[in-house]
């Protein structure tokens, strides 16, 4: 790739619709791929663009009406560039103007013989990338992006001033594309893609980066037991990949709601986790009303029971006889048939292995202590991975953990003492559309967290294959979206909810490969970019994982975490 060689000239375009570029005769249209990163050198500014479409053109309709013979190479070469030509559509994403007042011109260098202006950031503070507010002039030349262009835009992983993490590489280059983890955890984020496109691998990459760079602590609700100890790799031959517990043995704890399943899979040092009926609120039952097939009348009577019996309302209801239900309805004006239906359907909770009438130990507080000490927690569901089980346990635990963070955040805001500042928490949930759909988003703690935008130091990482099922208001608050292949038009439209200029990226998303490719856009990257995602393999383990396998005791880890918390200014 000759970076000094222009690929084409801008012939027309607009700020809203993008640029149309006519390729030079010696440039093959087959080398232009959707998602490619190109730069346009204008008279005063340099524009960073994404290729969004490729097309063929002719100078006259006579060529189409009388095309040359397939064997006539000479005529095809004569027509190439004059009679026939290739065009590409570019969407400008960022611009850089050296003449910008106050910009240090020393940050600009020339690439090669000086015909192509390039730049290299001397540090992360020496260059400002600006949003596109104009377009280059007619016949501005278009070039391939260089490694230095990518590093200037996306940074580098060992930048001492930022927590950058390499998530992948451009489609046609061998240079890392980094996301800024500090900006990533500032808002809730999403990993989307249809089934089989590698959402779990993408999520493990992100979680590994957060752990390695100490950007936040993670609470992962692992529906299919893919993040804790190990997971099955996709492919024709059976193989497994390391989970977070194997990569970071001293930093990750595994809690299990199904100890028998965890033991069968050979996971060591997993903590048992149980919940009790007195931890379940009516709001939790409202979330799973569809799974329990509850009517509105049953939910209204559940509120009457809660007001009468307090936290023990479920235990009291399950132990009531028909006569006691009748007496209760006579006194409290409840509906007997609705309460009996509620009692009958709540009996399904007895089938959940982790439910107890009462728990002598508060396991949610134990998880909170681990998070406060800087440990990352994976909650495995094992065989208890049906939607009723997953949604109920996830909502119950998250509501209490979020309540604790709210209290800590309010204490910090009052005292302004850095030692009172909570560690940023990222909560990972799967099948997110079940928690965040328009019908139930008001009843779930996850809808509240998604709209708070880290007000209380808690954000979400949602993993889903049906983004169209997520409430539009919540989708508009998703800061960074990492999206693998999607086919459904509604899902593709949902990805670009609240994104200006998203229409031009639709074709890019629809043409991704089904494996190891993703479109990244949003708060953590300066511009949308298509990447080949970083392989999750032995090389990655060596670069990211802990080097020491010696497991420290909880007391030692908690003490070390407190020391590190003070060092980080938390």
Q: What is the pLDDT of residue 487?
A: 85
CA distance 420 to 413: 9
Q: Is 27 in contact with 83 (CB distance < 8 Å)?
A: no
Q: What is the pLDDT of residue 451?
A: 85
CA distance 257 to 224: 12
Q: Is 189 in contact with 524 (CB distance < 8 Å)?
A: yes
What is the reported pTM? 0.82
CA distance 165 to 214: 11
CA distance 48 to 129: 10
Q: Is 488 in contact with 498 (CB distance < 8 Å)?
A: no
CA distance 368 to 373: 9
Question: How far is CA 415 from its chain centroid?
Answer: 33
* Consecutive H or E run containing 489: helix 489-495
**All residues at 6 or more sequence positions from 100 whose CB lies less than 8 Å from its CB, including other chains:** 128, 130
Q: What is the pLDDT of residue 424?
A: 92
Q: What is the pLDDT of residue 43?
A: 87
Which tokens sit at 475?
A: 């989708």
Q: What is the pLDDT of residue 522?
A: 87
Q: What is the pLDDT of residue 109?
A: 35
Which tokens sit at 225?
A: 């037991």
Beta-sheet strands, E only, within 112-175: 116-119, 130-131, 141-144, 164-170
CA distance 202 to 177: 14
Task: Say which DSSP state 186 is in.
Answer: T
How many residues are present in the chain? 570
* Consecutive H or E run containing 61: helix 61-65
**Could you write out the DSSP letters of every residue in 29-41?**
GGG--TT-EEEEE
Which contacts of 197-202 are long-range, i.e. CB under 8 A and separated by 24 or more positions? 197/484, 197/485, 197/514, 197/515, 198/234, 198/484, 198/515, 198/516, 198/533, 199/463, 199/465, 199/484, 200/224, 200/226, 200/227, 200/231, 200/463, 201/241, 201/533, 201/536, 202/482, 202/484, 202/518, 202/533
Q: What is the pLDDT of residue 16?
A: 85
Instruction: Note down pLDDT in tens along the chain; length 570 residues.
Output: 556 789 999 999 998 888 999 998 888 888 888 888 899 998 888 898 888 889 988 887 877 777 777 776 766 776 776 778 889 999 888 888 764 444 333 333 333 333 333 333 333 444 567 888 889 999 999 998 888 888 888 888 888 888 999 999 988 888 889 999 999 999 999 999 988 888 889 999 999 999 999 999 999 998 888 888 888 776 666 778 888 998 999 899 999 988 888 888 888 788 888 998 888 888 888 888 888 888 888 889 889 989 988 888 999 888 888 888 888 888 888 888 888 999 899 988 888 888 888 887 888 899 999 999 999 999 998 888 788 889 899 989 999 999 899 999 999 988 888 888 888 999 999 988 888 888 878 778 888 888 887 888 999 999 999 999 999 888 888 989 999 988 888 998 889 887 776 777 887 888 888 888 999 998 899 888 889 999 888 888 888 877 533 444 445 444 444 444 444 343
Q: What is the pLDDT of residue 81?
A: 64
């Amino acid at each position: 790739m000759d970076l000094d060689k222009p690929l084409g000239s801008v012939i027309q375009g607009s700020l809203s619709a993008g640029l149309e570029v006519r390729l030079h005769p010696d440039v093959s249209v087959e080398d232009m791929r959707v998602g490619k990163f190109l730069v346009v050198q204008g008279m005063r500014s340099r524009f960073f663009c994404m290729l969004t479409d490729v097309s063929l053109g002719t100078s006259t309709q006579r060529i189409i009406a009388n095309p040359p013979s397939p064997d006539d190479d000479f005529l095809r070469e004569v027509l190439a560039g004059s009679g026939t030509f290739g065009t590409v559509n570019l969407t400008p994403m960022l611009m850089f103007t050296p003449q910008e007042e106050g910009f240090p011109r020393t940050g600009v260098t020339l690439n090669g013989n000086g015909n192509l202006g390039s730049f290299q950031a001397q540090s992360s503070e020496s260059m400002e990338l600006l949003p596109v507010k104009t377009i280059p002039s007619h016949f501005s030349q278009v070039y391939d992006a260089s490694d230095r262009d990518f590093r200037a835009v996306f940074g580098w992983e060992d930048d001492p001033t930022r927590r950058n993490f390499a998530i992948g590489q451009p489609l046609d280059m061998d240079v890392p594309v980094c996301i800024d983890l500090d900006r990533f955890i500032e808002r809730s984020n999403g990993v989307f893609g249809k089934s089989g496109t590698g959402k779990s691998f993408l999520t493990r990459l992100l979680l590994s980066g957060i752990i390695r760079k100490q950007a936040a602590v993670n609470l992962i609700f692992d529906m299919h037991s893919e993040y804790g100890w190990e997971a099955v790799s996709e492919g024709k031959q059976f193989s497994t990949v390391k989970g977070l517990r194997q990569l970071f043995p001293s930093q990750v704890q595994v809690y299990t709601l199904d100890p028998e399943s965890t033991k069968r899979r050979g996971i060591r040092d997993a903590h048992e986790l149980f919940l009790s009926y007195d931890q379940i609120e009516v709001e939790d039952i409202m979330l799973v009303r569809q799974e329990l097939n509850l009517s509105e009348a049953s939910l209204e009577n559940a509120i009457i029971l809660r007001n009468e019996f307090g936290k023990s309302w479920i235990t009291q209801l399950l132990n009531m006889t028909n006569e006691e239900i009748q007496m209760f309805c006579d006194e409290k004006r409840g509906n007997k048939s609705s309460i009996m239906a509620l009692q009958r359907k709540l009996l399904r909770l007895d089938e959940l292995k982790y439910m107890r009438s009462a728990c002598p130990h508060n396991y949610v507080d134990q998880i909170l202590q681990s998070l406060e000490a800087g440990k990352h927690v994976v909650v495995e569901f094992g065989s208890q991975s049906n939607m009723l089980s997953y949604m109920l346990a996830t909502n119950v635990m998250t509501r209490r953990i979020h309540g604790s963070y709210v209290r800590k955040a309010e204490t910090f805001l009052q005292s302004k003492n850095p030692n009172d500042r909570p560690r940023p928490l990222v909560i990972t949930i799967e099948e997110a559309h079940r928690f965040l759909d328009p019908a139930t988003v008001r009843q779930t703690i996850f809808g509240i967290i998604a709209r708070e935008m880290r007000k209380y130091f808690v954000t979400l990482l949602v993993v889903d294959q049906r983004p169209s099922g997520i409430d539009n208001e919540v989708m508009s608050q998703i800061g960074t979206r990492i999206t693998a292949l999607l086919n459904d038009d509604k899902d593709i439209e949902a990805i670009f909810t609240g994104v200006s200029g998203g229409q031009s990226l639709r074709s890019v998303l629809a043409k991704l490969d089904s494996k190891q490719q993703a479109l990244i856009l949003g708060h953590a990257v300066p511009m949308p970019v298509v990447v080949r995602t970083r392989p999750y393999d032995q090389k990655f383990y060596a670069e990211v994982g802990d080097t020491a396998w010696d497991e420290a005791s909880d007391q030692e880890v908690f003490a070390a975490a407190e020391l590190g918390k003070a060092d980080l200014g938390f």
